[in-house]
Amino acid sequence: MKEALPTANMGLGKICLYLERMASKSLTFMVLTKVFFSFVTVPLIALLLGSFFSFSGRKMVFDWGFLNLADSFPGMVIFMTVAFLWLLCFSFEQSGLVRFSSAALKNSEERVVSVLKRILRIFPRLLGLAAFKAGILLLCAVPAFRILPALGRTFTRQLPVGTYPSVGTGAFGWIAAMLSLLVVSRLLISWVFAIHYAVLEGKTFVGSLKASTNLVNGSRKRVLLTMLAFWPLSLLLIIANSTVFRVSRDFVIRSSCDPTSMNILKLSVFASVETMITTALSIGVSVIYSILMTRLFYELKEGYSDDEATSVTNPVKTKSLTLQRPWILPLLIFLAIQGVFFGYFGRFLVDSEIELPLVTAHRGSSFKAPENSLSAIRAAFEDGADIIEIDVQMTRDGILVLNHDRSLTKVAGVGERVHNLSFAEIADLDIGSRFSKQFSGERIPTLAEVITYMTKIPSSVRLNVELKDYGYSPGISEAVVQLIKEMDFSDRVMITSTSIERLSAVRELAPDISIGLIVGYLSSSVWNADVDFYSVPSTILNQRFIQRARSLERDVHVWTINNTEAMSRYSAMGVASIITDRPDVLSRLLLSQAQMSIFQLRVLSILMT
């Protein structure tokens, strides 16, 4: 076994010695190539992925369903193109590292400029290698794509929300997938030295593949054991890094009561830092792997021993590996740029219009607590709502209270209407017992009480006040605006109504307050109204409505969506907010979509690293 593994008799000291010889120059080369690919190749890959996602009829594919599209001809073309670009980037980086590793093993000097010139001269061969590998590997790997959704369901935490392909993976599919993985593995091992032949001996891409296959055929076990000795440890390191970030991220999100939009921002921040560290790990892994495989290449081909190369140094005293100071700052700057690039700004590469909708709690968290109650409002905040929607009516004596229906029958069992009662007559009504004994004694809150509570929670949570006077309180617009101004709450409130007249009064009194028209049916008055957004029922909302609203620079809120499938559909359509009785479910769904979106961005990150 020891003879089969060059790493077994190579020793950590020699690895550190080779790293010492090539560290600064190889680091410079890696930073230069990664910066280039970050701003040239990766945006192109992102554009292709964005085009691929659009074949689903959505702006983004948030689940494993995108694998189903790989069966289509456009999907195959795009996947092959992306694979080609990735292999081209990988081949370019590995070509440079092979040159530096060869120089380090032979104790010779290699300049960054000369390496770049050498790679550019053989660039057509790298193109051929990348194209050929992409085509063959992709054709062999397509059956394996079909088992990924099943593996995802098996090994990932089951969320109560989210969508997966309904097509199952039969026995034939599993057999085909396993065979394809075996073929891909064999080809990867056979072609492991193709870049070495192209870079060090100048062979054509076909000649490089043949020479690598012939070299490996005589020592396949040794090559396989070398790869197995290196890659599992490297993968464990990367998995450990990802696990630490996942656990930390989940803990931070669970321990806070921030709205969903803030938690999505936290996901982006964690993704940025994780990408930075993953990039640093990938650079180290790539350099060490290049040293091991280049040494193995010379051993198998020439019976090479590096004893002579290391005789100029003292093999007993191993120098500690240090980076020269001039190279540390560029590396840190690059990692920071790369982390931000993929963790936050990278989402705009896929589709500049992708925005997850805000969570609006309909009458508070009305599934968990009595609608339009303080308990429902508190529950909505705890469930991660970005916006809390309430219905406001005016009592006979001018007090603004919360209630939706014309009468109080539903919430309190009283057939009277709010505008016919004084606040004193309403104040003692129990609206909790009819919902659950747990809420026995719950009272109808005033708008002032709600705003007072809102001032105690994060300012990122906003209030949607729907004017619900049913035509009996013509002064409700003035009363609501006056109270909002008195309590200095204008910057956290939006006002909605079915009445353009009521909204016009709000606009005249408080131009800084956002107003939205609740659309019951379509007419020309909808588009002529001076409003900031539309609140639209799901029964009449379609993509054409959203496009027309956007042409007028107006957002669209959709109501009332409690089904996760519909939530996913409207999220993909690009609405600004989804109004729901289940903000807890919608929040979890959007977080899972954000994680999937970040997973797709990680794909871009992996393509670069």
For residues 5 and 225, is the Cβ–Cβ distance under 8 A? yes
**Which pLDDT band holds residue 200 (cuts at 50, 70, 90)?**
confident
Q: Which residue has the higher pLDDT, 530 or 31?
A: 530
Q: Under the phi-then-psi rule, with left for phi > 0, alpha for psi from -120 to 50, and beta for the rest, what region is 399?
A: beta
CATH of the domain at 363: 3.20.20.190
Asked if 265 and 371 sit in the same domain, the reply is: no
259, part of any domain: yes
Asked if 426 and 555 sit in the same domain, the reply is: yes
Predicted confidence (pLDDT) per residue in 373-415, tens digit: 999 999 999 999 999 999 999 999 999 999 999 999 999 999 9
Domain end, chosen from 324, 350, 376, is at: 350
585, part of any domain: yes
Q: For 338, how many CA atoms within 13 A lie in the half-sphere containing its CB? A: 31
Q: Which residue has the higher pLDDT, 404 or 251?
A: 404
Q: Which two tokens stand for residue 295?
A: 């040494």
Q: Which residue has the higher pLDDT, 518 or 138?
A: 518
318, part of any domain: yes
Asked if 204 and 108 sit in the same domain, the reply is: yes
Q: What percent of the chain has pLDDT over 90?
A: 33
Tell me, what's the pLDDT at 168? Answer: 47
Distance CA 399, CA 450 (A): 13
**Which pLDDT band holds residue 607 (cuts at 50, 70, 90)?**
very low
Asked if 213 and 362 sit in the same domain, the reply is: no
Q: Give residue 259's domain range.
A: 6-350
Predicted confidence (pLDDT) per residue in 576-596, tens digit: 999 999 999 999 888 877 765
> Nearest to residue 165, comparing CAs of 177, 179, 150?
150
Low-confidence winner among 255-269, 490-504, 507-521 (lowest mean pLDDT): 255-269
Q: Which residue has the higher pLDDT, 23 or 7?
A: 23
140, part of any domain: yes
Query: Given 196, 362, 419, 557, which residue is catalytic?
Result: 362
Low-confidence winner among 209-218, 390-399, 423-432, 438-447 (lowest mean pLDDT): 209-218
Asked if 325 and 464 sit in the same domain, the reply is: no
Tell me, what's the pLDDT at 421? Answer: 95
Asked if 400 and 345 sit in the same domain, the reply is: no
Asked if 395 and 336 sit in the same domain, the reply is: no
Tell me, what's the pLDDT at 595? Answer: 67
Residue 275, preceding bond cis, omega within 30 degrees? no
For residues 79 and 55, is the Cβ–Cβ distance under 8 A? no
Asked if 51 and 170 sit in the same domain, the reply is: yes
Number of domains in the chain: 2
Tell me, what's the pLDDT at 45? Answer: 66
Q: Which residue has the higher pLDDT, 162 or 19?
A: 19
Residue type, 257: C
Residue type, 131: A
Distance CA 448, CA 42 (A): 52
Domain end, chosen from 350, 383, 412, is at: 350
For residues 365 and 584, is the Cβ–Cβ distance under 8 A? yes
pTM: 0.63
Out of 27-36, 37-46, 292-301, 575-584, the most confident range is 575-584
516, part of any domain: yes
Tell me, what's the pLDDT at 52? Answer: 61
**Which pLDDT band holds residue 484 (cuts at 50, 70, 90)?**
very high
1, part of any domain: no
Return the sign of the alpha-carbon dihedral for residues 156, 161, 162, 164. Answer: positive
309, part of any domain: yes
Predicted confidence (pLDDT) per residue in 72-83, tens digit: 666 667 777 777
Low-confidence winner among 88-97, 195-204, 466-475 (lowest mean pLDDT): 88-97
Asked if 72 and 151 sit in the same domain, the reply is: yes
Tell me, what's the pLDDT at 244? Answer: 84
Asked if 337 and 452 sit in the same domain, the reply is: no
95, part of any domain: yes
Asked if 338 and 368 sit in the same domain, the reply is: no
Is 196 tagged catalytic? Answer: no
Q: Is 49 exposed, middle or buried (0-12, 13-18, 19+ CB in 10 A)?
A: buried
Asked if 309 and 435 sit in the same domain, the reply is: no
Over residues 94-105, mean pLDDT: 83
Domain end, chosen from 299, 330, 350, is at: 350
Q: Under the phi-then-psi rule, with left for phi > 0, alpha for psi from -120 to 50, and beta for the rest, what region is 195?
A: alpha
Residue 193 in this model has a pLDDT that exceeds 60: yes
**Which pLDDT band holds residue 280 (cuts at 50, 70, 90)?**
confident
Over residues 308-325, mean pLDDT: 42
> Nearest to residue 19, comparing CAs of 231, 319, 257?
319
